[in-house]
Structure 1
């Protein structure tokens, strides 16, 4: 299930690494998206 969600996230959600976002200067909504993507990706790899 998480593999499917991870593929959808890759298509829909923005990639902050490509935008060279500095995490120390990120807004709360950006940190929430980063945390969500990390959670889904780590679960998809298990």
Structure 2
């Protein structure tokens, strides 16, 4: 059940949130909001793959 929820979140994130890797955003110069979104997407992806 948990994995299914995170897979749903991952698909929603892909459609709704920006992709900073495709935009070539330098993570050392990213704003706090960009870093928070990046960390959230990373956390969701990690949990979807477990």
TM range (shorter): over 0.9
Structure 2 unmatched ranges of 5 or more: none
Matched residue pairs, number? 46
Moved over 2 A (4+): none
User: TM-score under structure 1 normalisation?
Assistant: 0.98
* Cα RMSD after superposing both structures: 0.3
Structure 1 or 2, whichever has the larger Rg, is 2
Match of 1:26 in 2: 30
Structure 1 unmatched ranges of 5 or more: none
